[in-house]
């Protein structure tokens, strides 16, 4: 189908879209039939069901089992701890515990993903309300799209709930009560009901409130107001029809309200929101209290949050909130995910971003957010550890404790936004210069310019950040060197795997005090001490440590074998290879590179290579582009850089 045909179909579908409408009597049939399974749910439960419905996976978080919610996958990166806290809040509130009467408050440094999180929930609820499982119905004509079940008289509610298994709480607002009494003569069974779709633009179930000028901003933005023109029409200012239930707290009924920078606002706004959460009531001036079912999420930056926590007069508010810290992401891999997400859909995709470019920027960003360790773990090692890499002398399980010791980590440093701005600047510059690629060199240079020119950074920060740029560059040098070395092999992976197999045969025999057998002839052969030594030497395994190391590797092999036995599906079985053990991987790679060191160094750093050298270089460029994703032009430039800086002559 062409895009034009698709547009035709879409417009026809849109005009045909007919929402369910019927009387309350007919609606009760829907409830009885359970065609829409979740009709009685309150706002927190709705949010929980939406997230749970997207699916979950068990995953490993530094050695601990963690439930990963697919809803946030590919959207929020690396703030697992905050997501877990938010989910603990939502799932507890979904069960209508006391938690549902506390307001969710997210705080953290600028651009840590707080707005993004709230937006995901808002957009998610809009889409969810269009599904059968997430269907929402409301009393037609109710300005705050109230739950139809509120029409059920209080004295029959318990029995109804018990029989149908749906929860009912709250009372009709004065306006709807007026409609029921006067327009429908109390005949609640005949009140019209309709299906609604939550929608921020139509102001249905999704609200946003942003403080503006604190002095002049009126509370009516939250709680609605009297419409004076209607007093004329209805003749009485106590007539519920004259009140506009259009404040955000009413708009958000049955859904979410985002309370942006809530602590910047005057206290009365905060109080109204807290009452709406805790009592589930909103006081409409000159009218009674109105029941609302709002899931309010406030977010704020650290400065306001700290003041708020210090302020005596707010003490009583503290335990009416559920406070979640949202720091910057601290893992390099996830930081790259953030940049990729932000670059997707921009013109940046027209340019080739060489592999490891975003990683170099991400390393800088994470370094700027880390706190120094008291022990001997340096910042670079810490960065790697947080990224799930192997660091000698540390176990991944320790990460959780290290993070606990640094509660302020991730609350300062460079934001993803700052970095992405500098990446964008590097891209524009390359375009201006007529280049169709950028490398880490462009980005690190651009970061450096950004740091130097940014007035908001203190002199100390500037010099620290410049150092981190330098550190990131050194790390990137290593990674680039590795890529280039690999590209010197026609079949690097195969060779590495073969060497690993060979090594495993040798250490298995050595540890069992046996002689290895030739894999082809089956005959006993001598132990190849040199082969083992070539690998172990590369990673600093001493003579006295080699037995331990070899046993550790054999245990890892055994673990994979045992894991495979548990897998019913043969496709889930994996073969142990050198990539599954960080140290072994390093040893194998380095041993292979060592063998060809001479050729690599000569080819890369010869100024005027002979025809054979030229051919070898071209092969390397071709493999960098075929196997590693560099564009030929980027590979060429990086080889030039490498020849000058990375391979000693
Ligand atoms: N951990 C993260 N995961 C995904 N995106 C993030 C993350 N942190 C920041 N971002 C992105 O950076 C930008 C700024 O984040 P935003 O949500 O506006 O920050 P905040 O509201 O905390 O100031 C957004 O485009 C957001 O998508
Ligand atoms: Mg924000």
Which residue(s) pair with 559 in the sheet? none
Is residue 19 over pLDDT 70? yes
Convert the pLDDT of each residue in 583-623 to its tens digit: 899 999 999 998 888 888 888 877 778 888 889 899 999 99
- In the DSSP assignment, the letter for residue 517 is B
Of 603 and 93, the one with more pLDDT? 93
Residue 214's pLDDT is 63
Distance 443 CA to ligand 1 centre (A): 20
Of 579 and 87, the one with more pLDDT? 87
Looking at all shown ligands, the one closest to residue 112's CA atom is 1
Instruction: Tell me the two tokens of residue 628.
Output: 């590693």
pLDDT more than 90, % of the chain: 69
From residue 428, alpha-carbon distances to 23, 189, 434, 519, 637 in Å are 60, 64, 10, 57, 19
Instruction: Tell me the two tokens of residue 244.
Output: 């506009």
Distance 423 CA to ligand 1 centre (A): 16
* Nearest Cα to Cα of residue 479 among 395, 571, 354: 354
Q: Measured from the CB, is residue 340 less than 6 Å from ligand 1?
A: no
Residue 296's pLDDT is 97
Looking at all shown ligands, the one closest to residue 326's CA atom is 1
Is residue 484 over pLDDT 90? yes
| pLDDT, averaged across the chain | 92
User: Euclidean distance between the first and final Cα of the chain, in Å?
Assistant: 60
* Helix, strand or coil, per DSSP, at residue 220: helix
Distance 116 CA to ligand 1 centre (A): 5
Q: Which residues, 6 or more positions from 66, have their beta carbon under 8 angstroms from its beta carbon? A: 58, 59, 60, 80, 84
Instruction: Tell me the two tokens of residue 20.
Output: 């369910």
Instruction: Tell me the two tokens of residue 401.
Output: 């404790």
pLDDT more than 70, % of the chain: 99
Between CA 534 and CA 615 the distance in angstroms is: 30
What average pLDDT does the segment 619-641 reach?
Answer: 95
Looking at all shown ligands, the one closest to residue 345's CA atom is 1
Q: Measured from the CB, is residue 416 less than 6 Å from ligand 1?
A: yes
What average pLDDT does the segment 437-456 reach?
Answer: 97
Rounded to 10°, the helix 114-128/43-53 angle is 90
Between CA 117 and CA 432 the distance in angstroms is: 36
Distance 88 CA to ligand 1 centre (A): 21
Protein residue with least CA distance to atom 7, ligand 1: 113
Q: Measured from the CB, is residue 329 less than 6 Å from ligand 1?
A: yes
Q: Please state which of the ranges 25-39, 143-157, 361-375, 520-534 shows the lowest mean pLDDT.
A: 520-534
What average pLDDT does the segment 495-524 reach?
Answer: 88
What average pLDDT does the segment 383-398 reach?
Answer: 89
Rounded to 10°, the helix 357-369/440-453 angle is 40
Between CA 572 and CA 150 the distance in angstroms is: 51
Between CA 303 and CA 463 the distance in angstroms is: 24
Between CA 384 and CA 472 the distance in angstroms is: 12
What average pLDDT does the segment 560-577 reach?
Answer: 82
What average pLDDT does the segment 492-521 reach?
Answer: 89
Looking at all shown ligands, the one closest to residue 417's CA atom is 1
Q: Please state which of the ranges 117-121, 431-435, 643-647 shows the lowest mean pLDDT.
A: 643-647
Between CA 108 and CA 101 the distance in angstroms is: 23
Q: Measured from the CB, is residue 591 less than 6 Å from ligand 1?
A: no
Contact 646, 473 (CB under 8 A): no
Q: CA angle at residue 456 from 452 to 457, to 5 degrees?
A: 50
Between CA 41 and CA 500 the distance in angstroms is: 57
* Helix, strand or coil, per DSSP, at residue 64: strand
Calculate the CA dihedral of residues 318, 324, 328, 332 and round it to 10 degrees: 160
Q: Measured from the CB, is residue 84 less than 6 Å from ligand 1?
A: no
Confidence bin at 218 (pLDDT 50/70/90): confident
- Nearest atom of ligand 1 to the alpha carbon of 116: 17
Distance 295 CA to ligand 1 centre (A): 21
Between CA 589 and CA 496 the distance in angstroms is: 7
Residue 161's pLDDT is 94
Between CA 245 and CA 260 the distance in angstroms is: 21
Q: Which residues, 6 or more positions from 282, have their beta carbon under 8 angstroms from its beta carbon? A: 222, 223, 247, 249, 250, 272, 275, 276, 289, 290, 292
Distance 146 CA to ligand 2 centre (A): 30
Protein residue with least CA distance to atom 13, ligand 1: 111
Q: Which residues, 6 or more positions from 176, have their beta carbon under 8 angstroms from its beta carbon? A: 139, 141, 142, 143, 146, 150
Burial environment of residue 285 by CB neighbours within 10 A (0 to 12, 13 to 18, 19 or more): exposed
Contact 25, 32 (CB under 8 A): no
Protein residue with least CA distance to atom 9, ligand 1: 113
Distance 403 CA to ligand 1 centre (A): 21
From residue 577, alpha-carbon distances to 24, 129, 515, 531 in Å are 64, 47, 22, 17
Q: Measured from the CB, is residue 114 less than 6 Å from ligand 1?
A: yes
Contact 54, 121 (CB under 8 A): no
Give the chain's largest Cα–Cα span. 107
* Helix, strand or coil, per DSSP, at residue 134: coil
Q: Which residues, 6 or more positions from 318, have their beta carbon under 8 angstroms from its beta carbon? A: 309
- How far is residue 523 CA from its own chain's centroid? 55
Q: What are residue 517's phi and psi, to 5 degrees?
A: -105, 145
Q: Measured from the CB, is residue 346 less than 6 Å from ligand 1?
A: no
Protein residue with least CA distance to atom 26, ligand 1: 113
Q: What are residue 162's phi and psi, to 5 degrees?
A: -65, -45
Of 233 and 69, the one with more pLDDT? 69
Contact 521, 602 (CB under 8 A): no
Distance 353 CA to ligand 1 centre (A): 22
Between CA 227 and CA 473 the distance in angstroms is: 63
Ligand 1, from 260, 338, 345, 348: best to mutate by most atoms within 8 Å of Cβ? 338
Is residue 27 over pLDDT 70? yes
Is residue 87 over pLDDT 90? yes
Contact 623, 484 (CB under 8 A): no
What average pLDDT does the segment 393-420 reach?
Answer: 93
Between CA 304 and CA 397 the distance in angstroms is: 34
Convert the pLDDT of each residue in 269-278 to its tens digit: 999 999 999 9
What average pLDDT does the segment 337-357 reach?
Answer: 92
Is residue 74 over pLDDT 80? yes
Distance 590 CA to ligand 2 centre (A): 46
Is residue 78 over pLDDT 60? yes
């Amino acid at each position: 189908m062409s895009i034009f045909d698709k547009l035709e179909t879409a417009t026809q579908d849109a005009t045909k879209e007919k929402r369910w409408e019927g009387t309350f009597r007919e609606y009760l049939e829907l409830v009885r039939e359970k065609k829409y399974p979740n009709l009685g749910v309150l706002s927190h439960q709705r949010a929980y069901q939406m997230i749970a419905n997207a699916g979950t996976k068990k995953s490993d978080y530094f050695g601990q089992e963690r439930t990963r919610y697919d809803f946030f996958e590919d959207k929020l990166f690396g703030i697992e701890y905050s997501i877990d806290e938010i989910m603990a809040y939502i799932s507890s509130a979904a069960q209508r515990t006391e938690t549902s009467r506390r307001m969710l408050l997210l705080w953290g440094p600028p651009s840590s993903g707080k707005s993004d999180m709230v937006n995901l929930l808002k957009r998610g609820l809009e889409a969810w309300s269009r599904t059968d499982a997430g269907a929402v119905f409301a009393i037609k004509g109710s300005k705050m799209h109230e739950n139809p079940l509120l029409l059920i008289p209080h004295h029959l509610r318990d029995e109804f709930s018990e029989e149908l298994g749906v929860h009912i709480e709250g009372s009709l607002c004065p306006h709807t009560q007026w409609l029921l009494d006067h327009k429908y003569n109390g005949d609640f069974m005949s009140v019209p009901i309709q299906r609604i779709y939550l929608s921020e633009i139509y102001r249905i179930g999704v609200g946003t409130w942003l403080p503006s000028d604190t002095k002049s901003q009126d509370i009516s933005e939250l709680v609605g107001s009297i419409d004076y023109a209607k007093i004329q029409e209805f003749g009485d200012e106590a007539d519920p029809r004259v009140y506009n239930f259009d404040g955000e707290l009413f708009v958000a009924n049955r859904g979410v309200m985002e309370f942006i920078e809530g602590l910047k606002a005057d206290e009365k706004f905060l109080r109204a929101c807290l009452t709406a959460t805790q009592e589930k009531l909103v006081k409409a001036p000159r009218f009674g209290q109105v029941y609302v079912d709002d899931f309010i999420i406030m977010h704020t930056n650290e400065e306001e949050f700290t003041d708020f926590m210090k302020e005596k007069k707010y003490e009583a508010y503290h335990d009416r909130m559920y406070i979640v810290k949202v720091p910057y992401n601290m893992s390099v891999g996830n930081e790259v995910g953030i940049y990729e997400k932000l670059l997707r859909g921009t013109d940046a995709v027209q340019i080739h971003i060489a592999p490891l470019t975003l990683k170099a920027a991400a390393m800088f960003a994470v370094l700027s957010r880390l706190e120094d360790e008291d022990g001997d773990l340096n910042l670079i090692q810490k960065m790697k550890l947080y990224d799930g890499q192997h660091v000698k002398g540390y176990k991944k399980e320790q990460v959780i404790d290290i993070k606990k010791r640094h509660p302020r980590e991730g609350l300062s440093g460079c934001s993803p936004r700052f970095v992405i701005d500098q990446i964008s600047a590097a891209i524009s510059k390359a375009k201006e210069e007529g280049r169709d690629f950028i490398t880490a060199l462009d980005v690190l240079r651009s970061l450096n310019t950004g740091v130097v020119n940014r007035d908001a950074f203190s002199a100390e920060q500037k010099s620290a950040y410049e150092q981190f740029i330098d550190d990131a560059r050194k790390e990137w040098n290593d990674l680039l060197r590795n890529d280039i070395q690999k590209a010197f092999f026609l079949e690097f992976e195969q060779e590495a795997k073969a060497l690993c197999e060979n090594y495993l045969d040798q250490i298995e025999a050595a540890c069992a005090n046996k002689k290895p057998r030739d894999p082809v002839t089956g005959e006993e052969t001598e132990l190849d001490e040199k082969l083992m030594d070539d690998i172990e030497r590369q990673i600093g395994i001493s003579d006295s440590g080699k037995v331990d190391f070899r046993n550790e590797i054999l245990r890892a092999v055994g673990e994979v074998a045992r894991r495979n036995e548990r897998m019913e599906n043969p496709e889930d079985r994996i073969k142990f290879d050198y990539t599954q053990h960080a140290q072994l991987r390093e040893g194998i790679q380095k041993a292979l590179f060592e063998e060809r060191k001479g050729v690599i160094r000569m080819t890369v750093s010869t100024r005027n290579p002979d025809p054979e050298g030229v051919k070898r270089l071209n092969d390397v460029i071709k493999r960098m582009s075929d196997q590693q994703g560099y564009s030929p032009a980027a590979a060429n430039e990086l080889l030039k850089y490498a020849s000058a800086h990375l391979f000693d002559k």
